[in-house]
Structure 1
Amino acid sequence: MRADAFLAAAEALPMRDLRAIVPAGGIVVVAPHPDDESLGCGGLIAEACARAVPVRLVVVSDGVGSHPNSASHPPGRLRALREAETLAAADALGLPAGSVTFLRLPDRFVPASGPGAEAAVACIAEAARACGAGALFVTWAHDPHCDHAASAALARQAQALLGDVSLYAYPVWGWTLPPETEVGAAPRGARLGVARHLPAKAAAIAAHRSQTTDLIADDPAGFRLEPAMLARFARAHEIFLEVVP
């Protein structure tokens, strides 16, 4: 199926309650970079926290690839900043710092196999067991970013270890795919209404100041989320695609 048709069909998936998507247990959100959790799953996290559903957030990469040429924010300082931003975002969504794990794998070089990947898979599985997870949520395997694809592979491997745990994907950069890109069969899954959580989600996204403002101004090649991309994630629903094992 072409990406344009797939994403249009995803926009028409049925609206479902959180407990229709995850009937029992907690949830684990796997974010390739600090900020992906707020963009793709901010409403999901806020809804789960509001309903006392256990949540764990696993941030896979260290995020230092966003401003590789900054003198004011060398890798160590940038990593600390992005982790602090993530904790502020989590707090805005109702998620305590103790529920967030940073794996600190290298941004732009997250492995999908080998010892580093195996350790990451074990950490994701541990987070799932810690909250009695009924489902994992990770970026869509067709997102055109190597770390997003690798994180999807890590979550699939963790699901295989866990047994009866569902896996859902949330598109982030998938919305930018060329329309003719082939992405497989028609989507299955659901949309979650998050209208009541939009202020919290907006606050969470805004907490990632290094990604949404000119906070780091000394790297001409530095990354910044564009207004059109931010608008994409300011809507009253979030999309979760069922991943078949």
Structure 2
Amino acid sequence: MRADAFLAAAEALPFGEFDAIARGRGLVVLAPHPDDESLGCGGLIAEACARGASVRVVVLSDGTGSHPNSPSHPPDCLRTVRERETVEAARALGLEAEHVRFLRLADRFVPSDGTEAAIAADRIADMARECEAGTILATWRHDPHCDHAATAAIARLVCRRLPTIRLLAYPVWGWALPPATEVGRAPRGLRLDISRHAEAKRSAVAAHRSQTSGLIADDPAGFRLDEAMLAQFSRTFEIYLEVEE
């Protein structure tokens, strides 16, 4: 199925309830970079926290690839800034800092397999056991970013370690795919109505100031979420896709 048709169908999936995702157990949200958790799953995290559900957010990369040429924010500084922003974003959604974990893999080089990926999967599996997770959420494997695809691959490794856990995918950058890209069968899954958490999600996204504002102004090649990009994440629903075996 072409990407344009797939995404149009995904945006028309039936609405489902939170319990259809969590199934009465905990959730683990895997974010390739600091901000993906807010962009893709902010409403879900807020709903889980409002219900008192157990949630862990795991950020895989160190986020230092967003502004690689900034004199004012060399890698160690940028990593600290982005992790601090993620904790602030989590709090805006109702999630305490101790439930946000950082694996600090190299941005743009998150592994899909091999020893480093296996170690990451082991750590995530431990966190899933800690919160008695029944569902793990990872970025869609067709998202056009290598770290997003790698996060999807690591999530599959976690599922091999925890055979009873379910994997769902959330698209972040899928809309940027060339329309004719082949992405497989028609989507299955659900949309979650997050309208009651729209303000919390906006606050969470805005907490990532290094990505949404002119906070880092000395890297002309630096990444920034512009208004058109942010509009993609301001809708009152989020998409959760069943993952093909």
1:3 partnered with 2:3: yes
What's 1:166 paired with?
A: 166
**Structure 1 position 194, deviation (Å):** 0.2
Which residue is equivalent to 1:57?
A: 57
Determine the C-alpha separation between the residues in 1 that align with 2:57 and 2:28: 6
Distance 2:118 2:74 in 1: 28
Equivalent runs, 1:147-226 vs 2, <5 Å: 147-226=147-226
Q: What residue is the counterpart of 2:145 in the other structure?
A: 145
Q: Please state how far the C-alpha of 1:21 moved relative to its aligned partner.
A: 2.2
Q: How much has 1:126 moved relative to structure 2?
A: 1.0
CA distance in 1, matches of 2:151, 2:31: 8
1:90 and 2:90 aligned:
yes
CA distances 1:194-242 after superposition (whole Å, capped 9, x unpaired): 0010100000000000000010000000000121111111111000001
Runs of 4+ with deviation above 4 angstroms: none
Does the CA-based 8 Å contact 1:32-1:148 persist in structure 2? yes
Structure 1 length as normaliser, TM-score? Answer: 0.99
How far apart in 2 are the matches of 1:114 and 1:9? 35
Q: Which residue of 2 aligns with 1:116?
A: 116
On the 8 A contact 1:138/1:155 being kept in 2, the answer is yes
Is the 1:141–1:152 Cα contact (8 Å) retained in structure 2?
Answer: yes
- 1:28: which partner in 2? 28
SS class of match (2:182): coil
Equivalent position amino acid for 1:34 in 2: P
Distance in 1 (alpha carbons) for counterparts of 2:11 and 2:113:
32
Helix, strand or coil for the counterpart of 1:33? coil
- Looking at structure 2, the residues matched to 240 and 84 of structure 1 have their Cα atoms a distance apart, in angstroms, of 27
Which AA in structure 1 matches 2:140?
W
Normalization by structure 2: what TM-score?
A: 0.99
- CA deviation vs aligned residue, 1:51-72 (integer Å, no higher than 9, x gap): 0110000000000000000000
Superimposed CA distance per residue, residues 138-170 of structure 1 (whole angstroms, 9 cap, x where no aligned partner): 100000000000000000110111111111111
CA distance in 1, matches of 2:123, 2:60: 10
Counterpart-to-counterpart distance in 1, 2:132 and 2:199: 28
The aligned length equals 245
Number of the residue aligned with 2:227:
227
SS at match of 1:126: helix
Question: Given that residues 60 and 151 in structure 1 are in contact (C-alpha distance below 8 angstroms), is that contact kept between their aligned partners in structure 2?
Answer: yes
Helix, strand or coil at the partner of 2:28: strand
Amino acid at match of 1:83: E
**Which residue identity does 1:105 align to in structure 2?**
L
Are 1:26 and 1:132, in contact at CA under 8 Å, matched by a contact in 2?
Answer: yes
* Paired residue type of 1:111: P
Gaps of 5+ in 2: none
**Alpha-carbon distance in structure 2 between the residues aligned to 1:24 and 1:157:** 23
> How far 1:113 sits from its partner (Å)?
1.3
Structure-2 separation of matches of 1:206 and 1:86: 10
Deviation per CA, 1:20-40: give whole Å up to 9, x if none: 222121000000000000000
Query: Matches of 1:73 and 1:187 in 2, distance apart?
Result: 40
> What amino acid sits opposite 1:208 in the alignment?
H
Residue 37 of structure 2 aligns to which amino acid in structure 1? Answer: E
Shift of residue 244 of structure 1? 3.0
SS in 2 for 1:184: coil
Specify the SS of the correspondent of 1:65: coil
Match of 1:102 in 2: 102
